[in-house]
Structure 1
Amino acid sequence: MNIIFNFLSSLLDSIFNFTGDWGLAIVFLTISVRLVLSPMSFKQKKSMHQQQKFGIKMQEIKEKYKDNKDRLDVEVKKQSAESAKSMLGCLVTLLQLPIIMTLWSVFNKLPVSASTFLIPWVSSIKVSDSYFIVPLIYVLISLTPSLLSYVTLLKIEGQSTLSKSNIIIMAVVGLFVAKAAPIAVGIYLITTSVFNFLEELIFRLYIRNSKIRN
């Protein structure tokens, strides 16, 4: 963890020396980290998609061979073996957690006087936003990936849409977290949310184009 912390801390300082603004430095650092993690994230999304297709396939098999137990057992074992392979991709999320946790530590070591023209109404991004502007922006952007499932052309087979109650819960929790966190972390959360939206949009377009080709 110390190696990761020292590397990210040095990278943040280098970006700041180039941009002259701590807010921009956090944005560029976050984008850099997410670009490195994108292949892992994309693999995870594909694995989750395979699991959703597996659930649908299992229901079809059980219905098709409900009167043939031997054939049903054979097909279930075959599908379970394929499912186990795709589940390995979900483990890549664990590799991202140490980096994300380290980023928060890096932001906490910023100088007290750190400011940014991105958030001009505060003198330091080490404090929380008393105007609730940063938390509200974060909540609105963080919900956009989930809302893509409501777009007909971008729906993924087997993937359920979030209910309104779940969306409200996510918004309230996100608002609470962002309000309690310093603005530096808020900038990171907003940048990550924008990246998540673009990543989810690209993945859904990839799945849609794959269906068209097949």
Structure 2
Amino acid sequence: MNIIFDFLSFLLNNLFLFTKDFGIAIVILTILVRLLLMPLSLKQKINMVKQQKISVKINELKEKYKSNPKKLESELQEFYKENSKTYLGCLVSFMQLPIIFTLYNVVLKIPMEVSTVIVPWVSNLKAVDKFYIIPVLYTISVMLPNFLPAAQYMKAYKTEKTSKLATIINSLVGSTVSLFITIKAPVALGLYFITSSIFSLVEELIFRVYIKSKPIAN
């Protein structure tokens, strides 16, 4: 973990030397790290789609052999064996966490009190945003993905159903948590959160468009 921290700190400092702005450096560093992790993230999303299809297939087998328990057990064992790689593939998401948390700590430990052109109303990246613009922007960026399934073309899975109530509840919960996290957080972390959240939204949009054009096989 120390190696990752030292590398990201080194990268952030060099980005600052290049941009002369720690705010811009944080944004660029966050994007670079998320791009690096993107293959793992996409693999996780693909496995989620496969898991959806697996769940549907399992339910079909249970319905087909509901009167023949032995045959059902045999079919399920064979099915689990064939799809074991998909279950293991979902573990790739955990590989991202150490790097994400390390990036969080790197941003948190910026060595000096500086401002940024990105947030001109704040004079210190280590200070909180007294105008609450950063928390509001982060809240909006977190809420947006909840509304993707509402658009027919953006539905990634056949089993994905749009519920207005569920969308509203998820949005309210997400917005409340987001506000709670960023309202007292340094602006530097707010920039990190917003950049990462927007990247996740764009990544999700790209993924949904991709699987609509090239359906994922079981």
Give the TM-score range, shorter chain: over 0.9
Residue identity in the other structure for 2:27: V
Q: CA RMSD in A?
A: 1.9
The TM-score, its normalising length taken from structure 2, stands at: 0.91
Greater Cα shift, 191-200 or 63-72: 63-72
Residue identity in the other structure for 2:34: R
Shift of residue 74, structure 1, vs aligned partner: 2.4
Aligned residue number for residue 182 of structure 2: 178
Is residue 136 of structure 2 the alignment partner of residue 136 of structure 1? yes
Distance 2:184 2:208 in 1: 33
Match of 1:208 among 203, 208, 212: 212
Alignment of 1:77-156 (within 5 A): 77-155=77-155, 156=157
Match of 1:196 among 197, 200, 203: 200
**Secondary structure in 2 aligned to 1:211?**
coil
Distance 2:78 2:29 in 1: 44
Number of positions where the alignment pairs a residue of Structure 1 with one of Structure 2:
214
Q: Cα 1:146–1:79, aligned 2, differ >3 Å: closer, same or farther?
A: farther
Residue identity in the other structure for 2:30: T
Distance 2:149 2:201 in 1: 12
Match of 1:168 among 166, 172, 176: 172
Distance 1:148 1:182 in 2: 30
- Cα displacement string for residues 81-113 of structure 1 (whole angstroms, at most 9, x for unaligned residues): 244321212211221111111112211221342
Distance 1:101 1:116 in 2: 23
Distance 1:212 1:45 in 2: 11
Contact residue 104 and residue 185 of structure 1 kept, 8 A:
yes
**Secondary structure in 1 aligned to 2:130?**
coil
Distance 2:98 2:86 in 1: 23
Aligned residue number for residue 63 of structure 2: 63
Shift of residue 161, structure 1, vs aligned partner: 4.5
Is residue 32 of structure 2 the alignment partner of residue 32 of structure 1? yes
**Secondary structure in 1 aligned to 2:210?**
helix
Aligned residue number for residue 9 of structure 1: 9
Q: Cα 1:183–1:161, aligned 2, differ >3 Å: closer, same or farther?
A: farther
Greater Cα shift, 203-212 or 37-46: 203-212
Distance 1:84 1:180 in 2: 44
Distance 2:210 2:99 in 1: 27
Contact residue 129 and residue 186 of structure 2 kept, 8 A:
yes
**Secondary structure in 2 aligned to 1:180?**
coil
Aligned residue number for residue 45 of structure 1: 45
Contact residue 24 and residue 116 of structure 1 kept, 8 A:
yes
Residue identity in the other structure for 1:50: K
Contact residue 146 and residue 170 of structure 2 kept, 8 A:
no
**Secondary structure in 2 aligned to 1:88?**
helix
Aligned residue number for residue 187 of structure 1: 191
Distance 1:186 1:123 in 2: 14
